[in-house]
A and B are shown apart, each in its own frame.
Chain A
Amino acid sequence: MAEAVLEVARLAKRYGASTVFAGVDLVLAPGEFVAVVGESGVGKSTLLNCVAGLDTIDAGSVHVAGSDIHAMAEPAQALFRRQRLGFVFQAFHVLPHLSVGANVGLPLLLQHAPDPARVAAMLAAVGLAGFEARLPQTLSGGQLQRVAIARALVHRPTLILADEPTGNLDPDSADRVLALLAAQVREHGAACLLATHSRAAAARADRAVTLTPAGIVS
């Protein structure tokens, strides 16, 4: 059996005296697309941040591709994220002062391995062929989210973390973006953890789990 891409064991997170969640257990296999659903404020984004090493944990462990991310120092965590993780956000977060091509190629540039051909291929894959020189201000919301997806996958990450990627889109655009995300994740063999409160979005995943303060409910 292939090594799990993500192993979360007895993960707990507290803010002061307030417990966000406790006893979260989750395993993602390579190429698996898992949706984490739950009410707003239950801690879905916090869970993703803990998985990415962007937030501290109070108990448990997180292993991504066999590496304990919380045992690393900050520079090593940054390097790990640069090489192994991809992110898609609700608000797109495309840098307005970089062209579409530069935005998509940013992860490769950070690894000192620019690859214009790869960038062009990713843009074509998300239906934005020839958009390299355009500025983000000229794109629609759906197009911006596709740019974000292309950026999240351009460096062939092991794990994609998507936080409410369709939150700012109309139903048709949301549906297309989700389909694209799912297809690209499968094509690249990456695992994807999708945080969403939308049942429709969760239905696109291979499986859906529910996050509660007590942990994951399958």
Chain B
Amino acid sequence: MLALLRQLSWPELRHHPWRTAAALVAVMLGVALAYSVHLINASALAEFGAAVRAVNGDADFSIVGPRAGFDETLYARVATATGVAVASPIVEADSVAFDASGERVPLRIVGSDAIVVARLAPALVPRPNAGSERFVSLDPGVVFLNASAEKRLGGGATTLSLQTASGRRDFRIAGSVAAGGPALAVVDIAGAQVALDFVGRLSRIDVRLAPGADRAMTIAALNLPPDVRAAAADEASERMSNISRAYRVNLTVLALVAMFTGAFLVFSILALSVAQRQQQLALLAVLGLSAGQRLRLILAESALVGALGSALGLALGGGLAAVALRLLGGDLGGGYFAGVAPQLHVDALGTFVYGALGIVAALAGGWLPARAAQRIAPAQALKGLGLALGRHSPLAFGVLLLLAGAGLAFVPPIAGLPLAAYASVACLLIGGIACVPGGVGLALAGVREPRRAVPLLAVERARHERAGATIAVAGVVASLALAIALTVMVASFRDAVTRWLDVVLPADLYARTTLGPGGGDIATLPARLPLQATAIAGVVRAEAQRVVALPLDPARPAAALIARTIGDPAANLPLTGSLVAAPVGATPAYVSEAMAALYGAAPGTTLSLPLPDGRRADVFVRGVWRDYARQYGAVVIDRADWRRLSGDERINDLALWLAPGASTAAIETELRRLATASGYDGSLLEFAAPRAIRATSLRIFDRSFAVTYWLQAVAIAIGLFGIAASFSAQVLARRKEFGLLVHLGLTRRQILAVVAVEGALWTAVGAALGLALGIAVSVVLVKVVNPQSFHWTMELLLPWQRLGALCAAVVAAGTMTAFLAARRAVGRQSVLAVKEDW
């Protein structure tokens, strides 16, 4: 086989350098994209995990409780328990610091006992600056920053201004800590308890067991309170892996789709190469090369292209990942790894897998051409009458795949991932492509033999040599279907988010304390502020909102409880279905789609909610609403009910309805004054108008799809290149036919017209099929993949103008390519091509 590759295949590949390069580049780009996405995600996950491990240290388990913390007296019991070697008390929270220009910087605060933590988490040990006093690490007014925090707050800063429950508080920056990951500040535990309003409470206790101690028995002997539990050491990194898994898998699938498009280009090029070498292969058959050897020869060529392309792709992918990590950190737009600045982490297994995938993709692309080479009938081929591309697949095969694709769309998620839906998309694409020759045959069956020469040549060629046209049309179908599917999905999602924002932002002005759900217990607004706000000139109505983190499952991030004035839920919530009447005496609640999917909280069921003081309260689920802000679930109950159940009078956000012509600036100034007068630092209030929130939200949305757009563009580029390569090669392969037509008296313009019309017709057929297929795939993406991945739904929106533009662009590209290739082919060379021994 090596000898055949050297004698036969290598000259062929060298004789068509651009075609060979196109196949190589297609494989290379596909592998590079998929590999770079894998490296970025793996590096970010590894860095995040390392950061978590650095903060958690070498603990065997951690004792954790509600977000509001647990009684610190538990520490003494744990530290002295049998089987416990080291117990490190920790207070931690997400907060906000202010850099030199006053910009807010998210910052995690970790309060630790500097002496104990050294034995468990050396990365958290304070490293005082040179010249610091001796016990500076025990000073509650001093912080130590990690490298990420130093960078975000400006190197050389000496003071840290932190937002706390009681307002701004300044700390002296006295040194650093070695912990990596997002911005982090370490402070003495006593100082953290005061600053974060955690006096008398702890966030967690990290425990290392004594040698030989049994973990389960030790935990059991601790007799922990009901709201406190022992968590695995890697629970946090496991949770991040879980919550980002759907996003990472979707991104990886998209990247693999780019690889699939590359495989298709390999198929196009090899298929036409086999067609052009038909007589050569027939001669080899006559000389003794068996059908099986011909098959293996073409597969070997595919493997060679795949191996070279993969090698180049791995190198390119590594480079892309390194650049992306430097520019984007570990965040590809999904927001899961924001603040992480990972180093490139190359794993041997991933490198092997993606390198092998490139070869597999090329082999998959070369399979049908290899089968065509295997099936060559030497006698016919030597006469120049063989159809080198062999039999085209029967229509039934394509229809079966389409039906399978439709069926797979109804399969539920597997391990929380829409794997069956991905298979459905693959079946629809391949089935649609497989239907092209049969479909064209059916369409042409009713067409009578034209009476004029030019249409006769085009139609009869289409009728009898569909397999050749299928390659070019299939390229149109594949790239266009993917482009249309992604365009429809993104348009549907964006439209859904825009309309959702209109419902969830009904007020004219919003005020909040700037911290997310994690900080909702740290910074709250004065309880009297809503009432005071209604007395401000220009304010018609003011409603308060309380947001509380709901840790319902340790393996998942906390859901959110939103306590607000609901009024008419049908009007004020973006409900997705009808409401169920609540029984008398029951507390009504409205859950998000994610809540219903993850926790089974369907309308008509009862949900048990943990309260801040450790008790639980049952609420009745009346309906489900659409929530694009929280992927892990949210529950909305009326604020009055929340105050009755929990006694929690605190508020986090304020929504204000204004009179026409009211001065927003004056209202903001007055609110700040009122907040400050109530003991809250009014400068920490953040205001936003719905328009600004909407713009920011859509900007975040667009950024989260940036990588999708990039992958889509590459897939389209590869697809269009494949179309160009297919049409060019097909036209060039028809030089003898063109030469004959020139001999018979067709003008060059007539021959160009034949080819241009053929090109336009075929790409129009491909565009129509690609459009239909793309819409079908988009239905699967919108109605199955998104809900199964992220637990939200949306309506399908078809942006016809953009879809029309895409189709028109592809038809124009295909027609122009065919025309330009024909111009090259119809020349002196075509006249000479009829000569047998030229």
Give A95 Cβ to nearest chain B Cβ, in Å: 7
In the bound complex, residues from chain A placing their C-beta under 8 Å from that of B463 are 97
CA A107 to CA B456, docked complex, whole Å: 12
Give A47 Cβ to nearest chain B Cβ, in Å: 12
Of the listed stretches B431-439, B568-576, B586-594, B737-745, chain A binds B737-745
Q: Are A81 and B460 in contact (CB under 8 A)?
A: no
A74 within 8 A of B: yes
Other-chain contact of A74, B451, B461, B748 (Cβ < 8 Å): B748
In the bound complex, residues from chain A placing their C-beta under 8 Å from that of B449 are 102
B617 within 8 A of A: no
Q: Are A97 and B465 in contact (CB under 8 A)?
A: yes
A21 within 8 A of B: no
In the bound complex, residues from chain A placing their C-beta under 8 Å from that of B380 are 137
Give the interface size bracket for B toward A.
35 or more
Q: Are B744 and A81 in contact (CB under 8 A)?
A: yes
CA A114 to CA B746, docked complex, whole Å: 16
A82 within 8 A of B: yes
A78 within 8 A of B: yes
Question: Of all chain A residues, which has the CB nearest B387?
Answer: A96
Over the window 491-506 of chain B, the binary record of Cβ atoms lying under 8 Å from chain A Cβ atoms (1 yes, 0 no) is: 0000000000000000
A93 within 8 A of B: yes
Over the window 72-104 of chain A, the binary record of Cβ atoms lying under 8 Å from chain B Cβ atoms (1 yes, 0 no) is: 001100111111010101111111111000100
CA A214 to CA B383, docked complex, whole Å: 35
Question: Of all chain B residues, which has the CB nearest A91?
Answer: B836
In the bound complex, residues from chain A placing their C-beta under 8 Å from that of B736 are 91, 93
CA A82 to CA B749, docked complex, whole Å: 15
Over the window 156-167 of chain A, the binary record of Cβ atoms lying under 8 Å from chain B Cβ atoms (1 yes, 0 no) is: 000000011001
Given that A45-B835, A168-B836 are known contacts, is A75 also in contact with B747, CB under 8 Å in the complex?
yes
A110 within 8 A of B: yes
CA A112 to CA B451, docked complex, whole Å: 9
Mark out the residues of chain B between 406 and 460 whose CB falls within 8 Å of any chain A CB in the assembled complex: 449, 451-453, 456-457, 460
B828 within 8 A of A: yes
Q: Are B747 and A78 in contact (CB under 8 A)?
A: yes
Question: Of all chain B residues, which has the CB nearest A84?
Answer: B745
Give A118 Cβ to nearest chain B Cβ, in Å: 15
Q: Are A83 and B745 in contact (CB under 8 A)?
A: yes
Given that A87-B744, A110-B744, A168-B836 are known contacts, is A92 also in contact with B465, CB under 8 Å in the complex?
no
A144 within 8 A of B: yes
Interface SS of chain B: helix
Given that A97-B460, A97-B464, A109-B456 are known contacts, is A78 also in contact with B745, CB under 8 Å in the complex?
yes
In the bound complex, residues from chain B placing their C-beta under 8 Å from that of A95 are 457, 737, 740
Question: Of all chain B residues, which has the CB nearest A52?
Answer: B743
Give B712 Cβ to nearest chain A Cβ, in Å: 37
Other-chain contact of A98, B384, B460, B748, B831 (Cβ < 8 Å): B460
Other-chain contact of A97, B452, B461, B740, B834 (Cβ < 8 Å): B461
Other-chain contact of A91, B384, B386, B461, B744 (Cβ < 8 Å): B384
Other-chain contact of B745, A82, A94, A167 (Cβ < 8 Å): A82
Give A216 Cβ to nearest chain B Cβ, in Å: 21
B385 within 8 A of A: yes
Mark out the residues of chain A between 12 and 65 whose CB falls within 8 Å of any chain B CB in the assembled complex: 40, 45, 49, 52, 54-55
In the bound complex, residues from chain B placing their C-beta under 8 Å from that of A135 are 464
Give B267 Cβ to nearest chain A Cβ, in Å: 22
Question: Of all chain B residues, which has the CB nearest A144?
Answer: B383
Question: Of all chain A residues, which has the CB nearest B377?
Answer: A137
Q: Are A96 and B464 in contact (CB under 8 A)?
A: yes
CA A65 to CA B398, docked complex, whole Å: 57
Mark out the residues of chain B between 791 and 838 whose CB falls within 8 Å of any chain A CB in the assembled complex: 828, 831-832, 834-837
Q: Are A92 and B383 in contact (CB under 8 A)?
A: yes
Q: Are B460 and A107 in contact (CB under 8 A)?
A: no
Mark out the residues of chain B between 350 and 400 whose CB falls within 8 Å of any chain A CB in the assembled complex: 380, 383-387
Given that A89-B834, A98-B460 are known contacts, is A107 also in contact with B451, CB under 8 Å in the complex?
no
Specify which of B386, B736, B743, B746 lies most central, judged by the most chain A CB atoms within 10 Å of its CB.
B743
Q: Are B744 and A141 in contact (CB under 8 A)?
A: no
Give A190 Cβ to nearest chain B Cβ, in Å: 16
In the bound complex, residues from chain B placing their C-beta under 8 Å from that of A83 are 745
Give B205 Cβ to nearest chain A Cβ, in Å: 81
Question: Of all chain B residues, which has the CB nearest A98?
Answer: B460
Question: Of all chain B residues, which has the CB nearest A75?
Answer: B747
Given that A89-B834, A96-B464, A136-B385 are known contacts, is A109 also in contact with B740, CB under 8 Å in the complex?
no
Given that A91-B384, A93-B736, A164-B836 are known contacts, is A81 also in contact with B743, CB under 8 Å in the complex?
yes
Specify which of B736, B742, B746, B834 lies most central, judged by the most chain A CB atoms within 10 Å of its CB.
B834
Other-chain contact of A78, B742, B832, B834, B836 (Cβ < 8 Å): B742
In the bound complex, residues from chain A placing their C-beta under 8 Å from that of B460 are 97-98, 102
Q: Are A54 and B742 in contact (CB under 8 A)?
A: yes
Question: Of all chain B residues, which has the CB nearest A110?
Answer: B453
A106 within 8 A of B: yes
Other-chain contact of B743, A87, A92, A94 (Cβ < 8 Å): A87
Q: Which 10 A-B pairs have the closest CB atoms?
A: A82-B745, A97-B464, A81-B745, A78-B747, A109-B453, A91-B836, A90-B836, A93-B740, A97-B461, A54-B831
Q: What are 26 sample pairs from A and B whose C-beta atoms fall under 8 A apart? A: A40-B837, A45-B835, A49-B831, A49-B832, A54-B742, A54-B743, A55-B831, A75-B749, A79-B745, A82-B744, A89-B740, A91-B736, A93-B740, A95-B740, A96-B384, A96-B385, A96-B465, A97-B460, A97-B464, A102-B449, A102-B456, A107-B744, A109-B451, A110-B453, A135-B464, A167-B836
Additional A-B contacts beyond A89-B834, A93-B384 (20; CB < 8 A):
A74-B748, A75-B749, A78-B748, A89-B740, A91-B834, A94-B385, A95-B740, A96-B385, A96-B387, A97-B464, A98-B456, A98-B457, A102-B449, A106-B453, A109-B456, A135-B464, A136-B385, A137-B380, A141-B383, A164-B836
